[in-house]
Chain A
């Protein structure tokens, strides 16, 4: 099983009682709440954590896109991925994902992602979500009735650029671009692995299965609540004629590890309750827009009792005020000693048939020291218990195959030399360098 480190980059300095005093953490969040010095600290702290995850041996580091959002500070994930391409050396750089229908023209995404792939020496995983109504329809103003079709067009442009690698003209309903020239193309051939993050739309299951992509369910509500939706995905795979290779599915799980459960509850209570109270306080008017969920998905949700129950639970948590005990009991957060956590993950991921396991180890207003501890405990004592899962039985076809050996890849030169000294001797012209190049 692949074990990845996922970061939301939450804004961790919302005022106390945010959920009582403010309307929503998303779309119409009060912009006066953004404190720049705090955000400065957070960006650096969070990038440090993603870099630390690489050191700790996590298989991948995941970034994502949200807008006008108090639990997620990454507006354009390619920006963070570019930093990680330079500051990490082993982990896959997972953009999970970019809301491609919000970019015009989408060639920009083809170029940005290719840049990350080239810079990282071929470690990119490219995630293409349709996105949420919060971001796509309201914050970004896209038409809910056409967002999915526009997404398919954006995807088509990006894939054509990556696969054909020659100039072409694109003439769609939403995008018209006469000269798409993918001069900057991915180092992985024919292209980086494609992952498709989704929220339970049956069209997305179908599309991911038909295209033989990895589908990821990036829910905040844990492995128990996800079962019905994930079963639906696997049923779709079966119908489309795809095998049950667990690596064609990724799942995101909140986790807190400590010496024992009691200590873990104490350690992660504040951050957990902060996330599920303040960070998820959203106004329901931004949660849906007509046409964004297709009629077929709406019908499927109506007819499934388990999905209805899961939705009810989610709605409750969106209203805030779930205690840590409830969050743990419902499986939203897995808490405990390394062995307890590993056992729950193994059981949960076996039930979900998940091979790409994404951990969320920093959440809410979790302090730097607490997050570091959680990450280290997980990497040293939990991850080793998970990594063998599935590996003998299945091949992970959705993982980067960097064409460059690690030792051949460039790293920032500041890593290998003393800081520059302005008082060092006057430089001499490097005429030899030109000669060597000529030879």
Chain B
């Protein structure tokens, strides 16, 4: 797998890293928990058909801090629109968003469906139902967090773990970046209750594909239907077998195929 190209764009005064690869129509891919520490199989597979543009939100892996300037869902929405525009992507944009990033992508769609072409949400946060709450990853035992993110721990390591052969200082730096990434995400979703999307979701008219891992332990699989029920535009639900919360990490081939079939 050859490397993606890396560049930086400025959003609200902080430099955000953008990984890019492929030709053709742009496909924006935004990662949730863990960010995108390194180019992985999922992105590689997508880049065979589309020009994949994968920006890291402020604070996420590779980006400078900047999340501390964001105080509410509207700030995050505006930041994300700025980030996508700074990447050179013009409307209508096709967006794939996983995990907590799905929360921001949903807000963009609810605020301005016309700015999007097609939307893919993978294990998305954003809704919250008392009877079946989404899980606060950071309130779980550190020992089990990686298992809650990705069912297959080897695949988790391949994307998220520091290179064990690298010098200790590099591994510590990697840990710092991961910590910053967690902070950015925590800032967005804490305290994991409703952010009000349920009052806006009907405004989404964008054709939306909802992909969930059948073993998602953080956002229950039933949330795929909750999203589908709320969204006014055409929706399709795909449950991926043997996949956890980050279904794209557990089953990159299956998820990439579903995405490409949907966005074209």
Contacts and interface: CB of A to CB of B under 8 A. Distances in A.
A285 B176 contact: no
B142 A290 contact: no
Contact of A302 (B67, B68, B172, B190): B172
A227 interface: no
Contacts of A298: 176, 179
A299 interface: yes
Interface in A117-166: 137-138, 141-146, 149
Contact of A290 (B141, B186, B191): B186
Contacts of A295: 176, 179-180
B183 A145 contact: yes
B186 A144 contact: yes
A284 B68 contact: no
Given A173-B71, A284-B141, A285-B139, A143 B190 contact: yes
B137 to A, nearest CB: 10
B2 interface: no
Nearest to A138: B139
Contacts of A302: 172
Nearest to B141: A285
Interface size class of A (residues with CB under 8 A): 20 to 34
B187 A146 contact: yes
Contacts of B186: 143-145, 289-291
B78 to A, nearest CB: 15
Nearest to A288: B142
Interface string A259-301: 0000000000000000000000001111011110001001100
A143 B68 CA distance: 11
B166 to A, nearest CB: 16
B57 interface: no
Given A284-B142, A285-B140, A145 B184 contact: yes
A388 B24 CA distance: 80
Nearest to B189: A143
Overall SS of chain A's interface: loop
Nearest to B137: A290
B183 A291 contact: yes
Nearest to A140: B191
A424 B74 CA distance: 69
A290 B138 contact: yes
Given A144-B190, A145-B67, A146-B68, A289 B184 contact: no
A174 B186 CA distance: 17
A283 B186 CA distance: 20
A290 B176 contact: no
A285 B142 contact: yes
B21 to A, nearest CB: 29
Interface residues of B, number: 20
A290 B185 contact: yes
A48 B190 CA distance: 41
A180 to B, nearest CB: 21
B232 to A, nearest CB: 31
Contact of A145 (B68, B140, B172): B68
B141 A283 contact: yes
Given A285-B139, A295-B180, A149 B68 contact: yes
A149 B183 CA distance: 14
A219 B151 CA distance: 39
Contacts of A290: 138, 179, 182-183, 185-186
Nearest to A144: B186
B255 to A, nearest CB: 26
Interface string B147-172: 00000000000000000000000001
Nearest to B69: A173
Nearest to A302: B172
B191 A143 contact: yes
Nearest to B185: A290
Nearest to B65: A295
Interface in A166-187: 173-174
Interface in A320-359: none
A285 to B, nearest CB: 5
A273 B71 CA distance: 44
B141 to A, nearest CB: 5
A299 B67 contact: no
A288 B138 CA distance: 9
Interface in B106-156: 138-142
Contact of A143 (B140, B172, B176, B187): B187
B104 to A, nearest CB: 15
Interface in B67-122: 67-68, 71
A46 to B, nearest CB: 31
A295 B71 CA distance: 20
Interface in A33-65: none
Contacts of A173: 71
A298 B172 CA distance: 10
A252 to B, nearest CB: 28
B179 A289 contact: no
A83 B71 CA distance: 39
A291 B187 contact: yes
A283 B141 CA distance: 8
Contacts of A146: 68, 71, 187
Contacts of B172: 302
Contacts of A138: 139
B183 A144 contact: yes
Contacts of B68: 145-146, 149
Contact of A289 (B67, B138, B176): B138
Given A138-B139, A285-B139, A145 B71 contact: no
Interface of B: 67-68, 71, 138-142, 172, 176, 179-180, 182-187, 190-191
Given A144-B138, A145-B183, A290-B179, 5 more contacts: A143-B186, A144-B183, A144-B186, A285-B142, A298-B176
28 contacts: A137-B190, A141-B190, A141-B191, A143-B187, A143-B190, A144-B183, A144-B186, A144-B187, A144-B190, A145-B68, A145-B187, A149-B68, A173-B71, A174-B71, A283-B141, A284-B142, A288-B142, A289-B138, A289-B139, A289-B186, A290-B182, A290-B186, A291-B183, A291-B187, A295-B176, A295-B180, A298-B176, A298-B179
